[in-house]
Amino acid sequence: MDGLLFSDLTVWSMDWTLLILLVVPTVVHGNPTVTVRTGSGPPVGSNQHPNSVPLSEDTQTTTEVREVVVEEVMMTGMLNPSHYPARRAATVVQHYLNTRYGSPYRWIFLSKVHSGSAEDVAEMRKYQLELTMQEIISNVSGQCSAELLFPGGEGQSAPQVQASCEGLLQSNTTAQEEAFYQQHRASNNMVSGNDIPDSYGHMEPNMKPFWHLGGVASSFIMLRESNESTLYNMAQVANFTQLETEKDQLRVNYHVLLHEMISQEIIHWKLLVTWSPEQGVQVLQTELQPKCHNCEAPPNTTN
């Protein structure tokens, strides 16, 4: 009986195994049903009444419009270095450093936020940050400690920044700056340019220092205009025109396009900039250009 049982079982299980082995390949390469299907996210197309925020002053239409923005809760305490509050504040430090140290051969960008904290101090918001900044022409990086104060209340005054960096300003730009200065200070050959970079991201090599200078000069505006709900970059030098050198300063008129990330707006500014190796970059005048809604090219542009 046992012997018969065993052999029957063996044959039987071998048959099953054979069947399974035949079946498995086809099933495995067929169409599996994917398990995760139910979402418990917010209901699609719900009719909840949105939060609304009062109109900003520069709206030009007469119909009622709304900026539907979630009131951003101001973070206090330790900040997550990869989250936006630290990044926005760090970008303000970047603008500050460029106003202090930038030149046609020195342009600084935020590389990394290591740590940060924020707190309410009287009516103001105070940030402390540990950052790595990078000077992008020489590719030298440095560690920076910074403190910012965003003013509270209604008045739109600029944030106050203090920063100290190690190793960031190592690159020796003296020779290049001096050469650039000497090349352009004489009156007989005023330089101008436009669309820097162009649509393809290109620029002539001799335009690059003017691009850097435009970026540094824009930092004065970007610093002044920054708050906890902005993130500015210079998108392009639309055009620049060199003017006569005065008091040993190179003078340049710029029209720049700034990109403000949180609104995604492109904002036009004109600025009058002076520079020399000794005096550094100074911005004498700034003028916000009006946004021209009706200046758009007609539709049906052919490709």
In 227-279, beta strands by DSSP E: 232-246, 249-260, 265-276
Looking at 7, 11, 18, 50, which residue binds another protein (CB under 8 A)? 50
Q: Does 7 bind another protein (CB under 8 A)?
A: no
Q: What are the phi and psi torsion angles at 296 (to 5°)? A: -75, 150
Q: Does 84 bind another protein (CB under 8 A)?
A: yes
Tell me which residues in 119-138 interact with another protein (CB under 8 A): 136
Q: How far is the CB of 297 from another protein (least distance, A)?
A: 6
Counting contacts by CB under 8 A, is residue 199 touching another protein?
Answer: yes
Spell out the residues 6+ positions from residue 111 whose beta carbon is closer than 8 angstroms to its own: 131, 132, 133, 134, 141
Q: Which of residues 217-236 bind another protein (CB under 8 A)?
A: 233-236
**Could you say whether residue 15 binds another protein (CB under 8 A)?**
no
Helix (H) or strand (E) holding 132: strand 124-135
**Of residues 3, 22, 45, 285, which one binds another protein by CB under 8 A?**
45
Which of 7, 11, 12, 185 contacts another protein by CB under 8 A? Answer: 12
Residues that contact another protein, how many (by CB under 8 A): 86
Closest approach of another protein to the CB of residue 253, in Å: 18
Classify burial at 239, counting beta carbons within 10 Å of its beta carbon; exposed 0-12, middle 13-18, buried 19 or more. middle
Among 3, 39, 77, 155, contact with another protein (rule: CB under 8 A)? 39
Closer of 164 and 263 to another protein (Cβ): 263
The reply on whether position 290 binds another protein by CB under 8 A is no
Q: Which two tokens stand for residue 17?
A: 């195994």
From the number of C-beta atoms within 10 Å of its C-beta (0-12, 13-18, 19+), residue 300 rates as exposed
Query: For residue 205, is the peptide bond before it cis, meaning its omega torsion is within 30 degrees of 0?
Result: no
Q: 241 near 252, Cβ under 8 Å?
A: yes
Q: Counting contacts by CB under 8 A, is residue 34 touching another protein?
A: yes
Contact 68, 52 (CB under 8 A): yes
Please give the structure tokens belonging to residue 291: 């946004």
What angle, rounded to 10 degrees, do the helices at 208-225 and 84-101 form?
A: 120
User: Binding to another protein by residue 259, rule CB under 8 A?
Assistant: yes
Smaller CB separation from another protein, 12 or 157: 12
Distances (CA, A) of 57 to 61, 62, 150, 216: 11, 12, 22, 29
Among 100, 112, 114, 224, binds another protein (CB under 8 A): 112
198-223 burial, b at 16+ Cβ within 10 Å, e below that, comes to eeeeebeeebbbbbbbbbbbbbbbbb
Q: If binding is defined by CB under 8 A, does position 176 make contact with another protein?
A: no
Stretch binding another protein (CB under 8 A), from 2-10, 141-149, 157-165, 178-186: 2-10
State yes or no: residue 191 binds another protein (CB under 8 A).
no
Q: Give the residue with the Cβ less far from another protein, 87 or 251.
A: 87
Decide: is 63 part of the binding site for another protein (CB under 8 A): yes
For another protein, the closer CB: 28 or 186: 28
Q: Which of 100, 109, 126, 241 binds another protein (CB under 8 A)?
A: 109
Q: N- to C-terminal Cα distance for the chain?
A: 87
The residue from 149, 190, 191, 261 that contacts another protein (CB under 8 A) is: 261
